[in-house]
């Protein structure tokens, strides 16, 4: 095991994938010489050359469009969109081309691409560097959507995504790049070196897509979360003293419904937490699935804690960010319901 930040784990995943398969190529804006805006690709161009790790023009539609063409010819592109907020110009290519190739060609072509995107807030990025657009991808048949919450999962999930024959949207919570974050912005920053999930194998391994993890076992209430909100949920459980079971979804599509149902059937209560805006967020789908599959086990309505239905604010970031106090309130109210 090696101590890694999430940045280092993601870089290690690409390094290993490129070393094992010469068809894997990595590119995006400032990804080559500069090593990416968050340095996730630092050193890859020097190691593998400019034909396998290179800079792309500032054109998200061009980045994804060329990746689809490469995939059709047998390559395995792992491309970076510098911030998830910048993916909108490429949304047509992602949803109308990448997601449809297998179906449109009756299985003659696949699209083994990974689209990496830093996502979420917590870094004072304002409205165009803080969005959480995962629901825009989970709605589209043919795409897989992954959101890791720690370095160990990030590396294993990214290797699995690169090896997958279909397009994978890989959303990286940027607030977790250098350490876990429980929503208490006023406290000192904690590094991954002090967290068990910062212990990462330096070789090849995978974390299967479509399998959730129990971040905390409990019997009183189930919390469904992913990305940064896993750590916020853990903090809320600790601060309230409520015996909450925190399920880290890890992959939104395919979704590990079996783990969700087993947990809610055990606890009888459920709170869904995500950073994206409330209306039409992925939490609505989770709440509907819990109601559909666990109705006779529920002892209270399913609660949701999410971002407000406004553009992401800069000056009022911590009023918008679903912190432990809001999650704790939902836990307490659901227990009393």
116, two tokens: 């990496």
What 120-123 contacts at long range (C-beta under 8 Å, 24+ apart), as own/partner pairs, is: 120/84, 120/171, 120/173, 120/174, 120/175, 120/227, 120/228, 120/275, 121/175, 121/275, 121/312, 121/317, 121/320, 121/321, 122/174, 122/175, 122/181, 122/185, 122/228, 122/317, 122/321, 123/174, 123/175
Cis amide prior to 254 (ω within 30 degrees): yes
21, two tokens: 């398969």
224, two tokens: 């469904």
How far apart are alpha carbons 62 and 68 in whole angstroms? 10
Number of other CB atoms surrounding residue 42 within 10 Å: 16
45, two tokens: 């161009």
- Quick one: which of 213, 223, 228 has its CA closest to 153? 213
How far apart are alpha carbons 93 and 98 in whole angstroms? 6
Active site residue 129: yes
How far apart are alpha carbons 337 and 332 in whole angstroms? 9
84, two tokens: 């998830």
CA atoms within 13 A on the CB side of 331: 30
The C-alpha angle with vertex 107 and arms to 104 and 108, in degrees rounded to 5, equals 95
Catalytic positions: 129
């Amino acid at each position: 095991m090696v101590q890694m930040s999430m940045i280092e784990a993601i870089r290690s995943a690409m390094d290993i994938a490129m070393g094992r398969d010469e068809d894997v190529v990595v590119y995006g804006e400032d990804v080559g010489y500069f090593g990416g805006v968050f340095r996730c690709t630092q050193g890859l161009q020097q190691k593998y050359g400019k034909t396998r790790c290179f800079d792309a023009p500032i054109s998200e539609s061009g980045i994804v469009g060329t990746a689809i063409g490469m995939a059709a010819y047998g390559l395995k592109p792992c491309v970076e969109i510098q911030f998830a907020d910048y993916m909108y110009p490429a949304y047509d290519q992602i949803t109308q081309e990448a997601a449809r190739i297998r179906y449109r060609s009756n299985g003659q072509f696949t699209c083994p691409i990974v689209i990496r995107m830093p996502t979420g807030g917590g870094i004072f990025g304002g409205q165009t560097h803080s969005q959480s657009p995962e629901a825009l991808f989970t709605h589209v048949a043919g795409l897989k959507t992954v959101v890791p919450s720690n370095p160990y999962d990030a590396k294993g999930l990214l290797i699995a995504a690169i090896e997958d024959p279909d397009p994978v949207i890989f959303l990286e919570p940027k607030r977790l790049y250098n350490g876990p974050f429980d929503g208490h912005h006023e406290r000192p920053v904690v590094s991954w070196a002090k967290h068990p999930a910062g212990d990462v194998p330096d070789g090849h391994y995978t974390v299967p897509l479509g399998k959730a993890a129990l971040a905390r076992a409990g019997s009183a209430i189930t919390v469904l979360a992913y990305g940064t909100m896993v750590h916020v949920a853990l903090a809320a459980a600790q601060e309230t003293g409520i015996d909450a079971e925190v399920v880290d979804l890890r992959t939104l599509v395919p979704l590990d419904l079996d783990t969700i149902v087993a947990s809610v059937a055990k606890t009888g209560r459920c709170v869904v937490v995500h950073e994206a805006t409330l209306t039409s967020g992925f939490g609505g789908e989770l709440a509907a699935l819990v109601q559909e599959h666990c109705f006779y086990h529920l002892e209270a309505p399913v609660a949701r804690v999410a971002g407000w239905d406004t553009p992401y604010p800069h000056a009022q970031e911590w009023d918008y960010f679903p912190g432990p106090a809001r999650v704790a309130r939902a836990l307490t109210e659901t227990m009393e319901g």
